[in-house]
């Protein structure tokens, strides 16, 4: 039975989906006025691990993620400058080009990290109508007031305001903290629609029943999640920083509109920290995936590094610990390559073809052998609030256990890797291929490459001629679905 820590209630709870065998998952996505930093990427790695775990456990997942492509939707402060405009000016692009540029950069990062793309990726600017309709419902239900040209959400009409964040209601009522915005009746009230810009200049504005302007920060997630997943769904996630304001306000406004409990499970990933400080996208000076790659690391090193910590504990980033993660990952790949050699080429090839999504846990469990006990333990750790470090410990246990038949170990590993996403089998295979390439002389390698070029150009006559030459020189060629392979005769 899968158990997850629900921020709503602060307890580990058995997971019961609304519809058996199906999970609806909404994750707050990136703001695209700058590159994602490695802290942001930790949150997306956590959500990917969550999604893969559900799929591994046999659920059908619908994963929805928004892209905040409007800079001024990113916070409630009444000061500073529109982040999208600032970025556009600095890069000499339009705000629309900026959004596209950083969204592309974000998905390039997530691809390299082997993060599965959500089934639905939705942009804020494509859903302004949905936001307006939702705000109208909130207004009809009496949860709003207008002041200073803006439409506000009135938290005093929503008795459970702050439940997610365990906010102290007496503190909220007293208004002890000074509100920055003098239009607010309570310090925690928030804007649903702005007509009076917070900033000097505004690039993106839309018509609405409240005048020409733009939506408040939180409404996009409520509007897009309910549009794609319905008015009630299973899981909403994001980083822990979203608990006190963004997610608290999302709950208030959505439930004010629908009159129903919205989301059953709230999951939050802890922060990646550096020198005890949190990384901030708006403050600049942060580390990106590209900068790790420039420093000689692979994207998979960062993925592996993240698997070393439970998602609910802070993770301290240092280059020393990333270096240690890289060495461990490379040792693991070496060990997988050794298992492949021990299992024989045919098995390895078959495994490579089925790596990723196709290997099935049941294939292993039908066999007597201790690989299945590692798989059982792996699954138990997953079901215990996604304990990634313990899952990794099972991987090490498995690869080091001489009693397990290499082919069984490989099949179990390729199964576990459906959750870990480390591309263990294909990376080990590439390593073996690279060492096999060393066994060929450069002119033979050149012939193999020329034959591949000929095949790509559908020049099968030349390809056959080169195959004949290679055969005469002691190398056999086989063409398969995953490309061409060679072996020494
Ligand atoms: P943003 O693009 O700034 O809205 O952030 C995208 C995601 O990254 C959100 O879910 C944040 O909660 C999360 N996040 C921001 N900073 C960090 C950090 N240092 N560590 C982990 N997650 C973070
Ligand atoms: Zn959100």
Tokens representing 488 are 């020494």
Mutation test residue for ligand 1: of 27, 32, 34, 39, the one with most atoms within 8 Å of CB: 39
- Give the pLDDT confidence score for residue 278 in this predicted structure: 56
Mutation test residue for ligand 1: of 241, 288, 306, the one with most atoms within 8 Å of CB: 241
| Residue from 385, 404, 408, 382 nearest 393 by CA | 382
User: How many other C-beta atoms can be found within 10 angstroms of the C-beta atom of residue 449?
Assistant: 12
Residue nearest to atom 9 of ligand 1 (CA): 239
95-104, 169-178, 380-389, 456-465: which is most confident: 380-389
User: Quick check: helix, strand or coil at residue 68?
Assistant: strand
- In DSSP terms, 121 is beta-bridged to 65
The sign of the CA dihedral 125, 127, 131, 133 is positive
Q: What is the pLDDT of residues 132-162, one digit of tens each?
A: 999 999 999 999 999 999 999 999 999 999 9
Pocket of ligand 1 (CB under 6 A): 28, 30-31, 39-40, 42-43, 238-239, 241-242, 269, 271-272, 278-279, 281
| Residue from 143, 169, 146 nearest 157 by CA | 143
In terms of C-beta distances under 8 Å and separation of at least 24 residues, what long-range contacts does 424-430 make, across chains too?
A: 424/332, 424/333, 424/336, 424/355, 425/336, 425/351, 425/352, 425/355, 426/352, 426/355, 427/300, 427/333, 427/336, 428/333, 428/334, 428/336, 428/337, 428/339, 428/340, 429/337, 429/340, 429/348, 429/352
Ligand nearest to the CA of 75: 1
Residue 362: pLDDT over 70: no
Distance 66 CA to ligand 2 centre (A): 8
Dist. CA 129–CA 131, nearest whole Å: 5
Distance 306 CA to ligand 1 centre (A): 14
Dist. CA 32–CA 106, nearest whole Å: 8
State phi, psi for 403 to the nearest 5 degrees. Answer: -75, -20
Tokens representing 473 are 């020189």
Q: What is the pLDDT of residues 158-193, one digit of tens each?
A: 999 999 999 887 665 544 444 568 889 999 999 999
Residue 259: pLDDT over 90: yes
Q: What is the pTM of this model?
A: 0.85
Is 128 exposed, middle or buried, given 0-12, 13-18 or 19+ CB atoms closer than 10 A?
A: buried
Region 230-237 average pLDDT: 98
Ligand nearest to the CA of 283: 1
The sign of the CA dihedral 315, 426, 22, 127 is positive
Distance 186 CA to ligand 2 centre (A): 22
Q: Please say whether the beta carbons of 412 and 375 come within 8 A.
A: yes
Ligand nearest to the CA of 42: 1
Position of tokens 């938290």? 155
The sign of the CA dihedral 71, 72, 73, 77 is positive
Q: Taking phi first (over 0 means left), then psi (-120 to 50 degrees means alpha), and beta for anything else, what does residue 96 get?
A: alpha
Ligand nearest to the CA of 314: 1
Distance 396 CA to ligand 1 centre (A): 30
Where b means 16+ CB within 10 Å and e means fewer, 344-374 reads: eeebbbebbeebeeebebeebeeeeebbbeb
User: Quick check: helix, strand or coil at residue 75?
Assistant: coil
Distance 239 CA to ligand 2 centre (A): 10
Residue by residue, DSSP assigns 350-383 as HHHHHTTTT--HHHHHTS-STHHHHHHHHHHHHH
Which DSSP symbol is given to 234? E
Q: pLDDT band at 449, cuts 50/70/90? A: confident
Distance 76 CA to ligand 1 centre (A): 17
Q: What is the pLDDT of residues 46-75, one digit of tens each?
A: 999 999 999 999 999 999 999 998 755 555
The CB-side HSE value for 69 (13 A sphere, CA atoms) comes to: 23
- Give the pLDDT confidence score for residue 277 in this predicted structure: 60
Q: What is the pLDDT of residues 327-357, one digit of tens each?
A: 999 999 999 999 998 887 445 454 554 444 4
Mutation test residue for ligand 1: of 28, 43, 118, the one with most atoms within 8 Å of CB: 43
The sign of the CA dihedral 383, 385, 388, 389 is negative
Ligand nearest to the CA of 251: 2
Q: Please say whether the beta carbons of 463 and 470 come within 8 A.
A: no
Residue nearest to atom 8 of ligand 1 (CA): 40
The lowest-confidence range among 16-20, 111-115, 457-461 is 457-461
Distance 336 CA to ligand 1 centre (A): 34
If you count DSSP H runs as helices and E runs as strands, how many of each does the chain have, helices first? Answer: 18, 16
Residue nearest to atom 19 of ligand 1 (CA): 39
Region 396-424 average pLDDT: 95
Distance 29 CA to ligand 2 centre (A): 7
Secondary element (H or E) of residue 24:
strand 22-27
Residue nearest to atom 15 of ligand 1 (CA): 40
The lowest-confidence range among 276-290, 303-317, 379-393 is 276-290
Is 456 exposed, middle or buried, given 0-12, 13-18 or 19+ CB atoms closer than 10 A?
A: exposed
Which DSSP symbol is given to 270? P
Residue 272: pLDDT over 50: yes
Q: Which ligand 1 atom is nearest residue 36's CA?
A: 2
Region 12-29 average pLDDT: 98
Residue nearest to atom 11 of ligand 1 (CA): 239
Share of residues in the chain with pLDDT > 70 (%): 86
Higher model confidence: residue 275 or residue 282? 275
Q: Which ligand 1 atom is nearest residue 32's CA?
A: 2
């Amino acid at each position: 039975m899968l158990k997850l820590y629900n921020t709503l209630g602060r307890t580990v709870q058995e997971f019961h989906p609304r519809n058996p065998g199906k999970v609806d998952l909404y994750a707050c996505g990136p703001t695209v006025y700058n590159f994602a930093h490695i802290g942001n990427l930790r949150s997306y790695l956590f959500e990917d691990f969550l999604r893969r775990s559900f799929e591994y456990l046999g659920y059908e997942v619908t994963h929805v993620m928004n892209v905040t492509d409007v800079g001024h939707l990113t916070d409630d402060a009444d000061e500073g400058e529109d982040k999208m405009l600032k970025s556009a000016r600095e890069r000499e692009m339009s705000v629309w080009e900026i959004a596209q540029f950083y969204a592309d950069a974000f998905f390039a990062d997530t691809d390299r990290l082997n993060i599965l793309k959500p089934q639905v990726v939705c942009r804020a600017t494509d859903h302004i109508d949905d936001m307006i309709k939702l705000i109208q419902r909130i207004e009809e239900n009496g949860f709003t007031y207008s002041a200073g040209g803006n439409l506000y959400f009135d938290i005093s009409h929503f008795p459970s305001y702050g439940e997610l964040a365990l906010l102290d209601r007496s503190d909220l009522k007293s208004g002890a903290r000074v509100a920055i915005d003098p239009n607010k009746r309570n310090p925690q009230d928030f804007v649903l629609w702005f007509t009076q810009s917070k900033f000097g200049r505004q690039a993106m504005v839309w018509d609405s029943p409240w005048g020409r302007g733009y939506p408040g920060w939180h409404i996009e997630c409520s509007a897009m999640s309910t549009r794609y997943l319905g008015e009630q769904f299973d899981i909403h996630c994001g980083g822990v920083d979203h608990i006190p304001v963004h997610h608290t306000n999302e709950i208030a406004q959505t439930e004010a509109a629908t009159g129903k409990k919205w989301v059953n499970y709230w999951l939050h990933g802890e922060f990646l920290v550096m020198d005890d400080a949190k990384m901030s996208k708006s403050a600049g000076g942060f580390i990106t995936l590209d900068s790790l790659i420039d420093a000689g690391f692979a994207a998979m090193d960062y993925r592996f590094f993240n698997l070393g910590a439970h998602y609910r504990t802070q993770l301290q980033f240092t280059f020393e610990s990333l270096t240690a993660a890289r060495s461990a990952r490379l040792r693991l790949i070496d060990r997988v390559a050794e298992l492949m050699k021990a299992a024989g080429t045919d098995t390895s090839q078959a495994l490579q073809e089925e790596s990723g999504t196709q290997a099935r846990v049941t294939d292993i469990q039908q066999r007597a052998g201790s690989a299945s006990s590692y798989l059982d333990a792996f699954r138990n750790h997953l079901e215990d609030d996604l304990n990634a470090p313990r899952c990794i410990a099972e991987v090490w246990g498995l690869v080091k256990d001489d009693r397990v038949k290499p082919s069984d170990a490989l099949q179990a590993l390729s199964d576990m890797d459906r959750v870990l996403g480390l591309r263990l089998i294909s990376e080990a295979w590439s390593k073996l291929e690279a060492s096999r390439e060393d066994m060929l002389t450069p002119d033979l390698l050149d012939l193999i490459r020329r034959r591949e070029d000929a095949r790509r150009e559908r020049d099968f006559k030349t390809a056959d001629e080169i195959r004949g030459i290679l055969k005469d020189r002691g190398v056999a060629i086989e063409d398969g679905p995953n490309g061409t392979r060679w072996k020494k005769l």
